[in-house]
Amino acid sequence: MISPHGAAALSPRLVADPDKAAALAAAARSLPQVTLSSAAAANAVMLGAGYFTPLAGYMDLADALSVADDMHTRSGLFWPVPVLNLLPAAAADGIKVGARVALTDPNVAGGPVLAVQEVTAVETVSEAQRAQIAERVFGTLDAGHPGVATFRAQGDVLLAGPIEVLNYSYFQTDFPATFRTAPEIRQAMAAQGWDKVVAFQTRNPMHRAHEELCRMAMDDLETDGLLIHMLLGKLKPGDIPAEVRDAAIRAMVAGYFPANRVMVAGYGFDMLYAGPREALLHALFRQNCGCSHLIVGRDHAGVGDYYGAFDAQAIFDQIPPDALQIKIYRADHTAWSKKLGRVVMMRDAPDHSADDFILLSGTRVRELLSAGTAPPAEFSRPEVAQILMDYYQSLNQSPSNAAGNQS
């Protein structure tokens, strides 16, 4: 199993000892309270769960700019996306360097303390610097990009410093069978005797093309196992909620994969929609989980038309060869071939025209599911289609749900 990123061992920031956690929680009651943004709360969860190894906390402005511009911290650690705690100026008023602050959770009722931070820097990020970070990370300043909009809404005062994490927000309680930390995934793979493992990142339900892509990767790489690793955090409006995706993916795995070859797990992070930069971050997460490979396909972590179809693969050719130990499995668009009667990568079928494939747009799939009509069996497994039809029909019956908060 490969080593964690930049370290010999994982360094989760969760205070695991119950007595120490209780003492920290008691101390937090007398500390200044700072309400995190959802993005900063997700960063705290990822720090607590070991996915951000070897980081100890939130970056300062110099590291944030270095990561945005050059994809490494000032110390030389490869890192593709700044890890920040940004606040509105009013929320940071009175906080000084050297203080300890209690970071409260915006995603849980009552705002419980999620972590305690030692403040090593309080810095105002200029408008030019905010634009610099956004443009480098997201490749655009367009406010219509959901990641840009979320980043620009967080505030312009940065609190840097290490944190001690008390819990995993809503992820462990809402998804007890799915949420797993990086150490837990490593331990589970070791218990299975897996050494070579390919990971599949998803924020969507998996259709036949995704299923077969995972099989292709397992066969081509001769892996011991597959980690289907789903994002459980916040998404843009209109994306399918995590609990529906979880059910659909588990139905597919139970029906169509050997039980001893696939692990289904989830992690507590909000989607950035940062395309190539986020693909690098996804690879880093999976290296910390112990995976040897990550599937990177067409428009990985993308949104709209902001990125080229294979920009997320190309960026791995632009980083130093020793930046990451994990390797990527480069996938093309996959679809059912009417000629061959199976799912293929389009690049492997040069004699096919578009009419030789079963191709459905996301809009068309949503129309079918909303109408209670299953997509063709070549596109989606019936068990998966039924779960998605039930979800979309529930939206039709209760329109207010469609505008609700996506998780």
Instruction: Decide if 161 contacts 58 (C-beta within 8 A).
Output: yes
Confirm whether 18-169 and 176-267+275-403 share one CATH topology: no
Known catalytic membership, residue 347? no
pLDDT at 192: 94
For the chain, give every domain's residue range: 18-169, 176-267+275-403
Residues 6+ apart with CB under 8 A from 177: none
- Count of alpha carbons within 13 angstroms of residue 407, beta-carbon side: 16
Q: Which is higher by pLDDT, 332 or 275?
A: 275
State the pLDDT confidence band at 398, using cuts at 50, 70 and 90.
Answer: low
How far is 106 from 270, CA to CA, in rounded Å? 13
Q: For a pLDDT cut of 70, what percent of the chain falls above it? A: 98
Active-site option among 100, 130, 136, 204: 204
**C-alpha dist (Å) from residue 308 to 111, 136, 143, 295, 344:** 40, 16, 19, 17, 21
- 192-193-197-201 Cα dihedral, nearest 10 degrees: 20
CATH class of 18-169: alpha beta
Catalytic member of 13, 180, 203, 208: 203
Strand partners, 157: 87, 124
Mean pLDDT of 221-227: 96
d(CA 54, CA 57): 9
Q: What secondary structure does DSSP assign to 360-379, as a single string?
A: --HHHHHHHHHTT-PPPTTT
What is the average pLDDT value for the chain, to the nearest integer?
Answer: 92
Please measure the distance between the N-terminal and C-terminal CA atoms of the chain and give it in whole angstroms. 32
- pLDDT, tens only, 289-347: 999 999 999 888 889 899 998 999 999 999 999 999 999 999 888 888 888 888 887 88
Report DSSP state, residue 99.
Answer: -
Compute CA 282 distance to the chain's CA centroid, rounded to the nearest angstrom. Answer: 7
Tokens at 70, concatenated: 């050059």
Q: Are 307 and 276 in contact (CB under 8 A)?
A: yes
Residue whose token pair is 């588990």: 250
The Cβ of residue 284 has, within 10 Å, a number of other Cβ atoms equal to 25
Residue 226 has pLDDT above 80, yes or no: yes
- Is residue 215 flagged as an active site residue? no
Q: Are strands 113-118 and 33-35 parallel, antiparallel or unpaired?
A: unpaired
Q: What is the pLDDT of residues 233-249, one digit of tens each?
A: 998 887 888 999 999 99
- CATH architecture entry for 176-267+275-403: 3-Layer(aba) Sandwich (3.40)
Cα separation of 66 and 134, whole Å? 13
DSSP alpha helix (H) spans, 193-237: 208-221
Mean per-residue pLDDT, 353-360: 81
